[in-house]
A and B are shown apart, each in its own frame.
Chain A
């Protein structure tokens, strides 16, 4: 399947063209800043256009990789430049191209070294897209690690007060995790003789080695997905990063970890994943409950939203390790929905920041009276975040809970606690920000949303409702690959005597764990 031109490579490398354009800008500082902003915005809008085209051309009935490209790269070894998308990576690509223009709009508030910022941002977009499109493990690893470089600069140059601490911590934590994956990668490469993902997925790995490889993957993807207790870099990074950086980190980059689990850990290491499921459930449940309580104790809006993100990652992890169609689809749906909701919440935070407010909850209040549209949208995103039916958050959570119920009642119950606790801290936030009374003079003179802010928030709100009201337009894209993934997993962990064809995927896993 193709469209006659290498659309994925075009999407990956188009932002680099934008970088080259930005680097050659000349003139006085104001002109460079203006041109850099518009240049970056246009570059990301073209990527979005390509993304929509890709979505329209995508054939959901095919389970394998589509739009695949390959080119020889490292000679003498079967390491090639391979890219392609399937239903799982497609929507992460879409999420990235959808959120990039919004994040660039959010970065209009940046006034210092604008050109540098836009260059790093476009680099970030490029490597993120590359990572989701890669179908070769080495290519994936290169993009996966390369994300660190632009992020290091974005947090370190434009971040808040403790930016240097936050960015170094972010960098070293995530790097320490991913280098262990490098060793795992090299081992699997020699085991299979290739780094093609389809070959790697087919290659059997002895169960005792799988355990070690899983530990390496857990170190890498667990840090990226901020699985408790590997999450400590995250609140610092989210709180200190400038708003567009936070949006990309929370909405897109945190999905790298979960994507890694679905793409690598589960299909390539079925026995180890199965064995690790109780551990992952425990970590997920701890994340949901403990981190929700931590979020409840936050006194700053940005930090509260950051912690809510960790709690949602817990739900995603639980969903993945149920190995049921419902659970994994729920996790994927939650990734998509969380990406949009968290972006909305952070943009709302940014709206307050751009009005010169700080985001300490004690210094806000009563904004619903003066900023009704803002209040409505913030409330929509908050309700979606706690999983209100009709919004995107509900669909993901309910699917994960149903998937988990097939495996273990308690996991389902405790994971579902997230919705209750999420409601608790979100409502506390809403009360402190929107209702209550004005805590200090000055708040009552705040103006409602500006056009640029509408441009950022309305698409996010529309997507939140679309995902919630008609989820099928998204789930049918990843139905095929998820079903194939679950079937392959069940076949791999079943004893040989049972005929795989006769097995209902979800039920079989449930029986197995009992």
Chain B
């Protein structure tokens, strides 16, 4: 397929690219501050692209550089949900924090474009291209509050460490290319069906490390707590959701696609990453007083659970990871909406202790955050439990029972700090006196909490879609 025939397959990406550039031009040319307008258009754009994702036919174009399957559609939708909700959260926050610059929504659009290319990559070159586009946009997002010391520090830290990760990734790609002689996923899978050489294995390890950095799996998580804490909260909400989905989807499709025949070479690595992430995520979060740092460590732990599905390396495992991610991003967005709503007399509050007494003053707010925290802890019947159920189930059926046992034990430790947040809200006396939050924030909070609480009654659609996606990837 070539020429104009490929256009329908690229519609979502074209729409993102063209609208992103158009928004940039509008922002530059207009005299007034068009932050709100550009943000609304970007959110509408994401909704429209969400439809286009389903219209684009399943295909491989440009000689396999770019693929569209049920798997990519699933991940695309998750990315759109994460980025769209983050933009909704930023509408009010950025105005109050005096960082209402039109560049932010434009950068988010380009970051999403990069993520789409990562997800749909059928070749190591496309992978790197998408990875870099996404990273560059995200570096700037982290430092968007350029007058704030913490935000610029976060941006710089993310940039330096991110550049290192990109370097490792591209070095790994070059090694794989050098030893396997191709960058195409399908050809790589064919070439690597025998015993791979040391060069290829080292290349795979480097690729893995580069991607592990993006999903903030321990021990490549060093940037996460500082960036989560330093970046403006809507940006943190973005960091915690869309790029993680994209990087995890990429990790899955690379590891099980081109490197799928050499599972034995990398499976142990994924298991180690998973165990370290789960342990670090649950232990390091205990001492945190700042809720954004708490969420950073919690996200490290959650990525550990999501990696269990990949370690299993089966269709059930991929399905488990996808279910885990979909549930996780909804919970995360809800929690970040709650964090944004923590604002007293115009000043954003981030310490957990300030939530004391919330349940008497704002019962709805407290109930929403409590539901999300229970879900994060993985207590049934809330949605978080189902993500864990599916990844543990995949692990046990793939013979990785010890990994599942470590997983469940770390959930108990992790439950301790989630419980503490609930304890502060419900058992401790206090008067938080939070300001009334914006409608967008309340909307995200309510929808996320309801989806989390009621998932148990309607698990079917997500589970079935994840199953289709996993089958599409693994054949």
Q: Please report A residues at the B interface, Cβ cutoff 8 Å.
A: 72-76, 113, 116, 138, 141-143, 145-146, 148-149, 152-153, 156-157, 163-164, 168, 171-172, 175-176, 179-180, 182-183, 186-187, 189-190
Known: A157-B426, A168-B423, A186-B393. A148 touches B405 (CB 8 A): no
Assembled-state Cα–Cα distance A432/B389 (Å): 51
Known: A183-B404, A183-B405, A187-B396. A74 touches B463 (CB 8 A): yes
Known: A168-B419, A183-B405, A190-B396. A76 touches B426 (CB 8 A): no
**Across the interface, which residues of A come within 8 angstroms of B397, CB to CB?**
186, 190
Of A74, A145, A183, which is within 8 A of B380 by CB?
A145
Known: A76-B467, A143-B381. 7 other contacts (CB 8 A): A72-B460, A75-B467, A76-B463, A116-B363, A142-B456, A146-B380, A149-B379
Of A73, A75, A175, which is within 8 A of B415 by CB?
A175
**Across the interface, which residues of A come within 8 angstroms of B359, CB to CB?**
116
The answer to whether A156 touches B427, judged by C-beta atoms less than 8 angstroms apart, is yes
Q: Say yes or no for B25: interface residue by CB 8 A criterion.
A: no
Assembled-state Cα–Cα distance A141/B409 (Å): 16
Q: Which residue of A lies closest to B412 (CB)?
A: A176
CB distance from B98 to the nearest CB of A (A): 39
Assembled-state Cα–Cα distance A138/B389 (Å): 9
The interface bits of chain B over 384-409 (1 if a CB of A lies within 8 angstroms of the residue's CB, else 0) are: 01000100110011000100110011
> What would 19 A/B residue contacts be, using CB atoms closer than 8 Å?
A72-B460, A116-B363, A138-B389, A142-B456, A143-B380, A143-B381, A145-B385, A148-B379, A164-B423, A171-B415, A172-B415, A172-B419, A175-B411, A180-B405, A180-B408, A182-B408, A186-B404, A187-B401, A189-B393
Assembled-state Cα–Cα distance A291/B384 (Å): 38
**Across the interface, which residues of B come within 8 angstroms of A175, CB to CB?**
379, 411-412, 415
Q: Say yes or no for B167: interface residue by CB 8 A criterion.
A: no
Of A74, A138, A157, A172, which is within 8 A of B412 by CB?
A172
Of B363, B408, B456, which is within 8 A of A183 by CB?
B408
The answer to whether B385 touches A171, judged by C-beta atoms less than 8 angstroms apart, is no
CB distance from B43 to the nearest CB of A (A): 31
**Across the interface, which residues of B come within 8 angstroms of A182, CB to CB?**
389, 392, 408
The answer to whether B392 touches A186, judged by C-beta atoms less than 8 angstroms apart, is yes
**Across the interface, which residues of B come within 8 angstroms of A141, CB to CB?**
380
Question: In residues 331-380 of chain B, which contact A (Cβ within 8 Å)?
Answer: 359-360, 363, 374, 379-380
Of A142, A176, A183, which is within 8 A of B385 by CB?
A142
Assembled-state Cα–Cα distance A51/B380 (Å): 26
The 7 closest A-B pairs by CB, nearest first: A179-B408, A142-B380, A186-B396, A176-B412, A190-B397, A156-B427, A186-B393
**Across the interface, which residues of B come within 8 angstroms of A171, CB to CB?**
415, 419
The interface bits of chain B over 295-337 (1 if a CB of A lies within 8 angstroms of the residue's CB, else 0) are: 0000000000000000000000000000000000000000000
The answer to whether B423 touches A73, judged by C-beta atoms less than 8 angstroms apart, is no
Of B363, B409, B467, which is within 8 A of A179 by CB?
B409
The answer to whether A156 touches B423, judged by C-beta atoms less than 8 angstroms apart, is yes
Assembled-state Cα–Cα distance A149/B459 (Å): 21
**Across the interface, which residues of B come within 8 angstroms of A72, CB to CB?**
460
**Across the interface, which residues of A come within 8 angstroms of B381, CB to CB?**
142-143, 146
CB distance from A412 to the nearest CB of B (A): 37
Interface size class of B (residues with CB under 8 A): 20 to 34
Q: Say yes or no for B62: interface residue by CB 8 A criterion.
A: no
CB distance from A110 to the nearest CB of B (A): 15
CB distance from B361 to the nearest CB of A (A): 12
Interface of B is mostly: helix
The answer to whether A145 touches B396, judged by C-beta atoms less than 8 angstroms apart, is no
The answer to whether A73 touches B396, judged by C-beta atoms less than 8 angstroms apart, is no
Assembled-state Cα–Cα distance A171/B427 (Å): 15
Q: Say yes or no for B464: interface residue by CB 8 A criterion.
A: yes
The answer to whether B408 touches A149, judged by C-beta atoms less than 8 angstroms apart, is no
Q: Which residue of B lies closest to A177 (CB)?
A: B412
Assembled-state Cα–Cα distance A138/B464 (Å): 18
Of A138, A153, A176, which is within 8 A of B426 by CB?
A153
The answer to whether B459 touches A73, judged by C-beta atoms less than 8 angstroms apart, is yes
Assembled-state Cα–Cα distance A190/B405 (Å): 16
The interface bits of chain B over 408-426 (1 if a CB of A lies within 8 angstroms of the residue's CB, else 0) are: 1101100110010011001
The answer to whether A75 touches B380, judged by C-beta atoms less than 8 angstroms apart, is no
Q: Which residue of B lies closest to A190 (CB)?
A: B397
**Across the interface, which residues of B come within 8 angstroms of A75, CB to CB?**
460, 463-464, 467
**Across the interface, which residues of A come within 8 angstroms of B396, CB to CB?**
183, 186-187, 190
CB distance from A78 to the nearest CB of B (A): 12
**Across the interface, which residues of A come within 8 angstroms of B405, CB to CB?**
180, 183
Among A142, A146, A186, A189: residue with most chain B CB under 10 A: A186
Q: Which residue of A lies closest to B394 (CB)?
A: A186
CB distance from A233 to the nearest CB of B (A): 13
Assembled-state Cα–Cα distance A163/B415 (Å): 18
Known: A183-B404, A186-B404. A145 touches B379 (CB 8 A): yes
Q: Which residue of B lies closest to A187 (CB)?
A: B396
Question: In residues 444-475 of chain B, which contact A (Cβ within 8 Å)?
Answer: 456, 459-460, 463-464, 467
**Across the interface, which residues of B come within 8 angstroms of A180, CB to CB?**
405, 408
Assembled-state Cα–Cα distance A482/B454 (Å): 37
Question: In residues 197-226 of chain B, which contact A (Cβ within 8 Å)?
Answer: none
Among A138, A152, A183: residue with most chain B CB under 10 A: A183
Assembled-state Cα–Cα distance A373/B389 (Å): 53
**Across the interface, which residues of A come within 8 angstroms of B385, CB to CB?**
142, 145
CB distance from A146 to the nearest CB of B (A): 5
Of B422, B427, B463, which is within 8 A of A163 by CB?
B427
Among A76, A180, A189: residue with most chain B CB under 10 A: A76
Assembled-state Cα–Cα distance A180/B379 (Å): 13
Assembled-state Cα–Cα distance A72/B389 (Å): 17
Assembled-state Cα–Cα distance A62/B41 (Å): 65
Assembled-state Cα–Cα distance A149/B415 (Å): 12
**Across the interface, which residues of A come within 8 angstroms of B363, CB to CB?**
116
Assembled-state Cα–Cα distance A64/B298 (Å): 45
Question: In residues 4-60 of chain B, which contact A (Cβ within 8 Å)?
Answer: none
Q: Which residue of B lies closest to A163 (CB)?
A: B427
Assembled-state Cα–Cα distance A157/B427 (Å): 5
Assembled-state Cα–Cα distance A467/B463 (Å): 48
The answer to whether A183 touches B392, judged by C-beta atoms less than 8 angstroms apart, is yes
CB distance from B363 to the nearest CB of A (A): 8
Assembled-state Cα–Cα distance A152/B290 (Å): 24
Among A116, A141, A152, A164: residue with most chain B CB under 10 A: A152
Q: Which residue of A lies closest to B408 (CB)?
A: A179
**Across the interface, which residues of B come within 8 angstroms of A183, CB to CB?**
392, 396, 401, 404-405, 408
